[in-house]
Copies of this chain bind each other. A is one copy, B any other.
């Protein structure tokens, strides 16, 4: 049945591609099944054969983009250097990811609404969490490498997960604030991305992860990573 299955997978992808375009311009409220069906030249029922509702499509889109992020994080984690430099490489990957796939963040915001998420299948929910965990584990690995290398010494009661959670929070929070509302502009912040970089640097300094950002120019590492690791990747 590999022939048939191929076709199904293929159409699934087409649906997602069409849905993504609609979502990019219209967001959650702009996306609707009739329109997807119409633009695909299929009847609505056929779309429902693949996805039980539009929320499920949105979740599937998020998982799709998360795969991209995993790939980028994996690439970044291979950057050669001291653990903290590799972590900077991950930061660069995260930054490029939100710049390259700005719709992903909008997807995440929609999916953070519980009443929307509730309409999705547990299967895909698990898949999404699994994708997130892959990224998290890559990051956690670097933290452990840092400890092993003696660059980072965790004080009593601090776990590696705490550092991962911290970076995740600051980055996710920073990007969230950046692309929603006028608050960031009113605060007088011009380059939010630079700001997120600095915050993560200060955070890791606070955890005592050497070499400190005062001793090493991590912005320069960002530039290097962008050039050396990701210059060719974009699509």
Contact = CB atoms under 8 A, between A and B. Distances in A.
A169 B162 contact: no
Contacts of A166: 170, 195, 198-199, 202-203
Interface stretch (A25-33, A70-78, A145-153): A25-33
B116 A28 contact: yes
A162 B198 CA distance: 8
A182 interface: yes
A221 interface: no
Interface residues on chain A, size class: 35 or more
Contacts of A112: 109, 112, 176, 180
Given A116-B29, A181-B132, A187 B170 contact: no
A56 B70 CA distance: 37
Given A113-B28, A132-B181, A187 B165 contact: yes
A109 B110 CA distance: 8
Given A106-B114, A170-B199, A186 B28 contact: no
Contacts of A109: 109, 112-114
- How many chain copies? 2
A98 to B, nearest CB: 13
Nearest to A128: B181
A100 interface: no
Contacts of A26: 115
Interface in A177-231: 177, 180-184, 186-189, 195-196, 198-199, 201-207, 214
Contacts of A187: 133, 136, 161, 164-165
A112 B108 CA distance: 10
Contact of A170 (B110, B117, B173, B181): B173
27 contacts: A27-B113, A27-B116, A28-B116, A106-B114, A109-B109, A109-B112, A111-B180, A128-B181, A129-B181, A129-B186, A132-B181, A132-B183, A136-B187, A161-B188, A161-B189, A165-B174, A165-B177, A165-B189, A166-B199, A166-B202, A166-B203, A169-B173, A169-B177, A173-B173, A199-B203, A205-B205, A206-B206
